[in-house]
């Protein structure tokens, strides 16, 4: 395996890519809602995503087992521990209302891996519930935390921003759900297992139109925001159209999760200019 491929695999396996995606969505929230940027929130979100995702993927050991496929297992472990410490430090800069909400998110993350039913199941093994949980955690992290920390009063547009972010994450999860048909156990009853690949993709297309259409419900709507979400919606439709049961290795894990990153880059460039 080439060094470039090892670095790419480490970048993905260590949850750095997904952390950048979550960070990007948080930046987009600051830009779209017009909140003064707080770097401590961004640092908390980024490093908190790294250790929490590694916890979900690898368990309390925070690393994959060291072998030929994962020669960097120990590095992921130390990166996760450092990220946990750094996120705890920046957590102290958030206000108390945000602290309570973060604890709620941590409970949801814990229920994703720890048994919560009489049969010893966790929410990760409950198909549709798992998808909704991930969407709620992502939306809570990237929308609610910036809003709470800025002490904004709840409004129609802020509630709509939360709704739109949930829909966006649900759409982004469709390629992953279809990809995992090859490995998911039949009793998980995931959305593609219940409805099939084609109906799942049709559902994704409907969600994209709901996502874009909901912007017309906003009280404050700028041409810039409309253009951003139109371009993102077109990209999402392309991704859903290209999604197959048999995917290239990096299709979902790299390209799909890069959509928020590309969006954030467009926002940054447009604001600089």
Q: For residue range 50-79, what is the model confidence (pLDDT) as tens digits?
A: 999 998 888 777 777 766 667 888 899 999
What is the mean pLDDT of the segment spanning 28-54?
Answer: 95
Q: How many CA atoms lie within 13 A of 232 on its CB side?
A: 34
What does the alpha-carbon distance between residue 181 and residue 153 come to, in Å, rounded to a whole number? 42
Query: Contact 271/222 with Cβ under 8 angstroms?
Result: no
Which residues, including other chains, have CB under 8 Å from residue 78's CB and lie 6 or more apart?
none
Contact 23/138 with Cβ under 8 angstroms?
no
Across the range 90-115, mean pLDDT stands at 87
Neighbours of 262 (CB within 10 A): 15
Q: Does domain 3-272 have CATH number 3.30.70?
A: no
Q: What is the pLDDT of residues 155-164, one digit of tens each?
A: 999 999 999 9
Concatenate the DSSP letters of all residues of 34-100 into one string.
TPPP-HHHHHHHHHHHHHHHHHHHHGGG-S---SSS-TTHHHHHHHHHHHHHHHHHHHTTS-HHHHH
Question: Cβ contacts of residue 199 below 8 Å, gap of 6+?
Answer: none
pLDDT at 21 over 70: yes
């Amino acid at each position: 395996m080439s060094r470039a491929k090892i670095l790419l695999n480490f970048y993905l396996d260590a949850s750095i890519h997904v952390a950048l995606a979550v960070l990007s969505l948080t930046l987009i929230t600051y830009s779209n809602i017009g909140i003064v940027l707080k770097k401590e929130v961004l640092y908390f979100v980024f490093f908190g995503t790294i250790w929490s995702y590694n916890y979900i993927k690898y368990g309390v050991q925070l690393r994959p087992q060291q072998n030929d496929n994962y020669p960097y297992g120990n590095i992921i472990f130390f990166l996760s521990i450092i990220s946990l410490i750094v996120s705890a430090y920046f957590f102290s800069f958030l206000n108390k209302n945000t602290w309570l909400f973060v604890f709620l998110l941590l409970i949801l993350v814990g229920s994703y891996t720890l048994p919560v039913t009489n049969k010893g199941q966790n929410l990760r093994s409950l198909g549709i519930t798992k998808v909704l949980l991930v969407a709620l955690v992502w939306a809570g992290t990237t929308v609610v935390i910036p809003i709470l920390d800025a002490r904004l009063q709840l409004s129609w547009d802020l509630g709509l921003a939360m709704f739109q972010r949930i829909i966006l994450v649900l759409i982004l999860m469709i390629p992953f759900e279809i990809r995992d048909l090859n490995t998911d156990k039949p009793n998980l009853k995931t959305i593609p297992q219940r409805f099939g690949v084609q109906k799942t993709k049709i559902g994704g297309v409907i969600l994209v139109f709901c996502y874009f259409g909901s912007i017309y419900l906003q009280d404050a709507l700028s041409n810039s925001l409309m253009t951003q979400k139109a371009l993102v919606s077109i990209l999402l439709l392309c991704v859903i159209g290209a999604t197959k049961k048999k995917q290239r290795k990096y299709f979902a894990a790299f390209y799909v999760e890069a959509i928020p990153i590309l969006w954030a880059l467009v926002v940054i460039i447009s604001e600089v200019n």
